Amino acid sequence: MVKPDSFQAMCVRTLKESGARLTKPRLALIDCLANADSALSPKEIFQRTESLLEKSESIDTVTVYRILDRFAELGLVHRVAPHGDYIACSHLACESAPHIMTRCIQCQAAAEMHIPDDIIAPLLWFMRTQKKFEPKEHLFQLDGLCETCTLKNAAVL
């Protein structure tokens, strides 16, 4: 049973609203991303999705890339630089809430972090008024050390 506020439910709802068909490969890819504990490369997504499909269904790498592109357009997944891996969007209202993607340069863990409006508003104001730039995408990425790796490094010293 899919929870109504889950990533899977959000994907199904968004795909239906966009007029996209709910194919078995798309649903398998949604399950793959929902159950991933880290960002996945398209190759890893292909391999995991292929194993989720029944023998009578198939998927190829081109289809995986097309689905990922469509999901990215709809805000359901995010690309994590520099490798181009994908992570499921963890914010149900992603289009309206600025957030930062964090990636640990040591363990490669990636996560989304919501940024409160009172913190991001001055940056957006500066971009609009001082630089005459209207931001359309709202995902920033910062690379650094996660808490776990910072603690491990401190323990070594």
HEC readout, the chain: CCCCCCHHHHHHHHHHHHCCCCCHHHHHHHHHHHCCCCCECHHHHHHHHHHHCCCCCCCCHHHHHHHHHHHHHCCCEEEECCCCEEEECCCCCHHHCCEEEEEECCCCCEEEEECCHHHHHHHHHHHHHCCCCCCCCCEEEEEECCHHHHHHHHHHC
Given 62, 88, 114, which residue is the final one in a domain? 88
pLDDT tens, the chain, 157 aa long: 455 568 899 899 999 999 999 999 999 999 999 999 889 999 999 999 988 888 778 899 999 999 999 999 888 998 888 888 999 987 655 555 667 889 999 998 888 888 888 888 898 899 999 999 988 766 788 999 999 999 999 888 7
Given 31, 58, 88, which residue is the final one in a domain? 88
Given 65, 88, 111, which residue is the final one in a domain? 88
Q: Which domain holds residue 68?
A: 7-88
Same domain, 80 and 110: no
